Structure 1
Amino acid sequence: MSSTLGVPRPDQAVYMLRAAAGDAGRAYKQQLLDLLDIQAGQTALDVGCGPGTDLPALAECVGDSGTVIGVDRDPAMLARARERTNDLHRVELREGDVHALPIDPGTVDRAKIDRVLMHVTEPADALTQLHHATRPGARVGLAEPDWDTLIVDSDDLEASRAFTRYTTTKAVRHATIGRSLARLAEQAGFRIEAVLATTPVFRDFQEADHTLGLGRNTQKAINEGCIDRDRGHRWFAGLSQGSFYASFSLVSVICLR
């Protein structure tokens, strides 16, 4: 089954929820949650919580005596998060930017930033903000892709490479943030406990098209002169024929305050 080239990106909340529900999304999110080692009674912070994908799991970890704070700058995202957590009284939602977190200094025991830093204006400043918000001994989990490692199998290897170059140089603001996470966290004052890399693998073309933006970004690359029109159309059409493979590296960093 094929997809259409250039279809606009789906509703952002729907996109995030679907990506998190896939096999790759569930696996790394559970790993990050386990490594955070959240205890009952603690205060856990989700920076860039989006539609509240991870808030119920965090709330289960902190228990009735703990608190979960979800921060996002988008009121529409917070409205979706509120719907998901309406019956979880220990979840607080706050509108705010990662560069000016609405959190009292030194009040957070556990925190996570998941696939947010690749989009923000200044990732280093966001991590400094997080350092101020956490208390000594706090544990923080960071997870970001490195889009330079994106590979898409095709007979036309150069077209696949051109698509990755477009993703890295045009489509994502900080496309290689994954490899820089540990360094930036150290510069912000954190101590690194673990650096892990996982490789989400996509064998289903439709799922990859949705998550990786194959069709919409191919069309953008054509429009911007980064990929020849006919070659781009042939490349994309060929991806849905027969066996499909795509993957990229996702870096997770666990650090201590």
Structure 2
Amino acid sequence: MTSSMFETSAPDAFGYLDRVAATDLGRSYKKQMLDELAVRPGETVADLGCGPGTDLGTLAEAVTATGEVIGVDHDPAAVDVAGDRTAGRSNVTVRVGDIHELPLPDRSVDRARTDRVLQHVADPVRALREVRRVLRPGGRLVMAEPDWGTLTVDHPDSGLSRAYTRYVTDEAVRNARVGSQLARLATDAGFAVPGVIPLTPVFRDARAADRILGLERTARRAVDAGCFTGEAARRWLDHLTDGPFLAAVTFYIVVAEPQDA
């Protein structure tokens, strides 16, 4: 089942985040997130689930020296890396914290962002309520999440691609459909939702898609989970390697603002 085209082992987690950010897709949607965040100089911005600090520098430039950027992540190793990367920026602090119980005072933040974080958390609504707690009146939250149920990988045997997507949504990702659920969940958490922006990147190059989607790595896990046979996974991957390639998934950027209590 191994192909020289596809990755067979998972990349370093921090390197993967940096890799996605460096793609045309990553640069495009992150810029759109920043535009929707509408940061002003002097504001306080929280990057919740900041990882290794991939976006902290951009946010620091947006708030200028008069503002503050706070990165929060549950992983101490990520916080250490993010702290090292931003050591020369006096307007950035990074701390360990759980998005369900943020280490921030009530109404202390003007802007907040989550980038592909809520698909992994234990309780998205509880996390959103916590973000609402720390936002000031007039504040804004911008979220970006995929809906993995929309994942399409073209193949002559469409049943194989459906089985692959089912594995991703049912087994591989905790909150796999959260992208299309965000507007409702944010409303349940006490937000108004003035904007929902769907983005559907289309991949025509199998190798480029694999660097983001992990096609072979995920197919191997699907075999281990009993969602694919080894022979079916081989047939699926062989066509992706040799045939015309097309894959797509819809990604949502959602703007939320706390409603008055």
**TM-score for the superposition, normalised by structure 2:** 0.95
**How far has the Cα of 1:89 moved from its partner?**
1.1
State whether residues 2 and 237 of structure 1, in contact with CA within 8 Å, keep that contact through their aligned partners in structure 2.
Answer: no
Counterpart Cα distance in 2 of 1:138 and 1:152: 39
Determine the structure 1 residue equivalent to 2:44.
43
Counterpart Cα distance in 1 of 2:62 and 2:204: 33
SS at match of 1:240: helix
State whether residues 186 and 256 of structure 2, in contact with CA within 8 Å, keep that contact through their aligned partners in structure 1.
Answer: yes
State whether residues 200 and 247 of structure 1, in contact with CA within 8 Å, keep that contact through their aligned partners in structure 2.
Answer: yes
Determine the structure 2 residue equivalent to 1:57.
58
Q: 2:5 aligns with which of 3, 6, 13?
A: 3
Counterpart Cα distance in 1 of 2:136 and 2:182: 20
- Provide, for residues 111-166 of structure 1, a one-character-per-residue CA deviation record: whole Å limited to 9, x for no partner: 00110000000001000100001011001101110000000112221111111110
Identity %: 47
| 1:100-115 mapped onto 2 (5 Å cutoff) | 100-115=101-116
**TM-score for the superposition, normalised by structure 1:** 0.96
Determine the structure 2 residue equivalent to 1:90.
91
Between stretches 157-166 and 200-209, larger displacement belongs to 200-209
Q: Which runs of 5+ in 2 are unaligned?
A: none
Counterpart Cα distance in 2 of 1:232 and 1:122: 33
Determine the structure 2 residue equivalent to 1:156.
157
State whether residues 47 and 113 of structure 2, in contact with CA within 8 Å, keep that contact through their aligned partners in structure 1.
Answer: yes
Q: Which runs of 5+ in 1 are unaligned?
A: none
Determine the structure 2 residue equivalent to 1:122.
123
The answer as to 2:218 corresponding to 1:222 is no
- Provide, for residues 140-199 of structure 1, a one-character-per-residue CA deviation record: whole Å limited to 9, x for no partner: 101110000000112221111111110000000000001110111111111111011001
Determine the structure 2 residue equivalent to 1:238.
239
**How far has the Cα of 1:253 moved from its partner?**
0.7
Amino acid at match of 1:82: G
- Provide, for residues 5-37 of structure 1, a one-character-per-residue CA deviation record: whole Å limited to 9, x for no partner: 7x2311110111101111111111100100111
Counterpart Cα distance in 1 of 2:130 and 2:113: 13
What RMSD in Å do the two structures reach over aligned CA positions?
1.3
State whether residues 6 and 207 of structure 2, in contact with CA within 8 Å, keep that contact through their aligned partners in structure 1.
Answer: no
| Number of equivalences | 256
